[in-house]
Amino acid sequence: MLRGGLLLGRKAIGRRTGLLSRIPKRSYATALTNLRQLPQPGDKLHGFTVQRAKSVPELQLAAIELKHDKTGADYIHVARDDKNNVFAIGFKTNPNDDTGVPHILEHTTLCGSEKYPVRDPFFKMLNRSLSNYMNAFTSGDHTTYPFATTNRVDFNNLMDVYLDATLKPLLQESDFKQEGWRIGPENPADPKSPLLFKGVVYNEMKGQMSDSSYLYYIRFQDHIFPDLHNSGGDPQKITDLTLEQLRKFHKDHYNPSNAKIFTYGDAPIEEHLNRLNEKLAGFERSTVDKDLRESITLTENKSITVEGPIDPLTDKDAQYKTSVSWIMHDTTDVIETFSLKILSTYLLDGYGSPLYQGLIDEKLGSDFSPNTGFDTSSRKGIFSVGLQNVRQENLRTVQDKIHEVLRNVYERGFDEKKIEGILHQLELALKHKTATFGMSVMQGLTPGWFNGVDPFEDLAWEETVSKFKERYVQGGYLESLLKKYLLDTNTLTFTMAPDKNYGQALVNEEARRLAAELEKVGGESNARDSLVGQEMKLLEIQESARSQDLSCLPTLKVEDIPRKMEKKPLQHGKIGNVPVQWREAPTNGLTYFRAVNPLEDLPEELRLYLPLFTDAILRLGTATKSMEQLEDEIKLKTGGIKASTHVSTNHSSLEVTEEGLVFSGYCLDKNVPDMLELLRTALLETNFYAVSKLRTLIQGIASGFVNSLAESGHSFARTFAAAHLTPAAVTTEVMGGMTQVRLISNLAAKEIYNDALEKLRQIAQFAARQNGMRVAITCGSESVSDNERAVQKFVDSLPIAEIPQRTTALFDFEAPSKAFFPLPYQVSYTAMCLRTVPYTHRDGAALQLLSQLLTHKHLHHEIREKGGAYGGGAFHRGTGGIFGFYSYRDPNVANTLRVMEGAGEYALQRQWTERDLEEAKLSVFQGVDAPMSVSEEGMIYFLDGISDEMRQARREHLLDFSISDIREAAQKYLIDQIKANKTAIAVLGEPKDMYDEQWNIFPLSLDPQASNDASQFEKVTL
């Protein structure tokens, strides 16, 4: 991934000539954001005193800062005409060791509170709400609990639950053992099964710490911030944490005096103040954690090397990760922080950036290291540059090259055209209307707010950019920053060396630690009965929670859901022979373009390379323009141009699939002709003879797969399992699942690219044809005529081309019913899938509800609470006809599969209540009615052909279906198919004895001498 470290959310300066002129001011004030109609500094309201207020017209918002009189709690309200209201409460939580106490506390606070003394109210509120975001996350030095919802009653309900959970949690021993750690039998049903460490956070962090990229970043943090310990927790230290220490940490840190509260949206601040004061008034002012943990001071150059695991998908001879880091400025200087983000973006962002060209294009590594970028989350900024997949003999070369590139940039000066492009991206980001703007504001402010950065200065985008501009136009400003912070200053060089025995060493260490813990209680033979007894007691508590009275928890009702969906008017016409969908809406002066080019009956050997084609056309350059030149023009004229594969199941038949390519982009209305010309250039003029560029691209994709598998292994498992069931699922797997992982990884290992280039050249001959293409435009009504002319010119420039026809069956692909992919993780990712019905079939709604019932009422208890996995649940792909189960970072796959296989019977036998059904409907409608960005309006019809009438029918089925409909679906699609062995299972992760001859095992080895090679993927038979 390319990183520049710049959060695109500030007002841009504009075009080249605009660098010398003021940005025209615009007035967006409404009653909501008019400071005269908001509380004034000095006002006392509901136990709070207003400190200050600020209008930020370029962001169409006003901010008010208050302080709670009794406790000193800090509170910022951001008023904006946005119905998607946001709440967050956070606490400074500097950890003093690696036991993960902030992380485990984040989990256990949500397991029950004084007002809501039920087990796990947080997860139970997930299906009693219409929120579009509910979460909690532990950062390095603070912990935050946010949510977002468009429903006012829902907002008040959730705020009450969140405040009670964080300020008055029960912190029971059973919750600590479930979420933190314990020792218990691997299989509770078998008291003689091996004793092992268990716990949700423990297993989560086992998975994290066996991911080499995460481990590199954490070990880097350990050395550059030695006083700021691993807040997530190191499994080797988690087992040192006691319940008493957890409770003390909560007492010391989770009090209002140490809290920062944030609200956003169109709800009146007075409503929030009254409710907040009711919760806070019962507390006294307490100690505030003002400790700002800082990085080391580099009085000399420092070099550190640690050991880490092997990456299975990358060259076994290129396994090193190395980086160079600088301690920068005080992040409370907002202007300098912004300027250094511009500098970082210039150096790192894009294929044409100096450091990408100087390091990755020079084949010194496959991608930037995990810590690369400009980190402003603490009091001191940290700038890091490094590479992963480096050969040992190239380590010094990489480090020297980094310094050489920086010196060259300083001597040559900054290219003003590139700076203009960066600023233009800022302008577009400001104009682009997202549905999650409030959450972005909260996430952008919080890290600095906890580290002494003035949040009002952070919000003042236009003021910040104006001051940057004043310095920049004087000349030499960025060069001076580069010299001040990155040239001739001390650095930390941090390297991780591969250790092929690293994984086994972790296993051995855990075994020794387990033996030591057992010895503390008299040894395994003496402790077994007691530990088994504790496990059974915990199971009883977990089981009793199923029938617990939840009447104390607030909830919405199904009648709160509108029966009629909100429709977005669309118009349809043609430009030439190309169908065009128009969505006219207020877009703030932007035009959004999307085109689909269906590729029916494409030969399988070409279809397999479509994903690589979509990456290559925006990476290889043309015969007359380098990728750097194209990239500069794209940044100057657009908000980005993208290409991707397209797979859509017909709404009425699972056997009918549309496949092809999608091209998209957005820009200022005036730049639409330039954007479409750039897209035409990429599609028709890309140089598919650039072997060196393709090599770099493939190596980078392969490296990215390593991180993707560690973070989203359950998604890959689901995709592969589903490929056993429908034509669209086969295509999705081949073009985006483990098949692509194996193809790209083997290409990277073999480094033979001529055949791949030939296939890309063949695809290019018909990828951008006008026959068969359809287009969607979203823009303001004032821009329709100009856009019509621009699209006409674009379409006329494309060829009319026929595609080659396949002569064999679509993808000679047969996914096994049981597949295992061994990976060097200490946990696994599991999926089981079954075929169901297309979108318009009435049973689809019942299956969607069934997936929610099973997730919240059964699978969460069995897979997460009892089994110790970090996550697990059920899903139904309404547009794909797939019902499935999954687990995430799972230590007990055998148990999970038993739970999945029995889920249908559970659904049939369970005495579902009307309340259960109502909660399932609320949970489904969180997604159905989630806020949508204007750029996505109308895309369900454009991409999948699903009309408003079909969506309304589905909506009515979801609202009207009864418990009997759910039972029928469980019998027909789960029980009957499981009995008939019509399931498909895929597991990625830890090798275990359970994977016998019934399983097809697919090793992921990139040893160039291995017998398998890329040619095996010409016929995708696994």
- Residues marked active site are found at 106, 179
Residue 260: exposed, middle, or buried by beta-carbon count in 10 A (0-12, 13-18, 19+)? Answer: buried
Residue 151 corresponds to which tokens in the numbers above?
């429903």
Beta bridge partners of 571: 582
Give the DSSP per-residue string, 38-100: SPPTT-EETTEEEEEEEEEGGGTEEEEEEEETTT--EEEEEEES-SSEEEEEEEE---SSSS-
CA distances from 318 to 273, 321, 390, 913 (A): 57, 9, 5, 57
Closest by CA position to 377, among listed 258, 437, 297, 294: 294
What is the full DSSP assignment across 385-396? EEEEEE-GGGHH
Q: Do 835 and 654 meet the contact criterion of CB atoms below 8 Å apart?
A: yes
* Cα three-residue angle 443-446-450, rounded to 5 degrees: 160
* Spatial separation of the C-alpha atoms in residues 401 and 405, rounded to whole Å: 6
> Phi and psi dihedrals of 87, rounded to 5?
-130, 145
Integer CA distances (angstroms), 76 to 25, 131, 808, 956, in order: 25, 21, 63, 40
Q: Which amino acid, 994? A: M
Do the beta carbons of residue 319 and residue 496 sit within 8 Å?
Answer: no
User: In the Cβ-directed half-sphere of 795, how many Cα atoms lie within 13 Å?
Assistant: 25
Beta carbons of 397 and 894 less than 8 angstroms apart = no
Question: Please, what's the b/e burial string for 92-121 (b: 16 or more CB within 10 A of its CB; e: otherwise)?
Answer: bbbbeebbbbbbbbbbbbbbbbeebebbbb
How many Å is the Cα radius of gyration of the chain?
A: 28
Do strands 492-498 and 302-308 pair parallel, antiparallel, or not at all (unpaired)? parallel
SS3 787: helix
Query: What are the DSSP calls for 571-612, one per residue?
Result: EEEEETTEEEEEEE---SSEEEEEEEEE-TT--HHHHTTHHH
Query: Which letter does DSSP use for residue 25 in this model?
Result: P
How far apart, in Å, do the first and last CA atoms of the chain sit?
Answer: 29
Strand order in the sheet with 828-835: 871-877, 882-890, 828-835, 984-989, 818-822, 1000-1001
Q: Which residues pair with 67 in a beta bridge?
A: 49, 74
Under DSSP, the state recorded for 304 is E
Q: Is the dihedral of CA 985, 988, 990, 992 positive or negative?
A: positive
Number of Cβ within a 10 Å radius of residue 522: 10
Q: What is the DSSP string of 870-896?
A: SEEEEEEETTTTEEEEEEEEES-HHHH
How, if at all, do strands 137-138 and 142-149 pair?
Answer: antiparallel
User: How many angstroms separate the CA atoms of 930 and 851, rounded?
Assistant: 18
Residue 770 to residue 256: CA distance in whole angstroms:
62
Question: Can you tell me whether residue 825 is helix, strand or coil?
Answer: coil
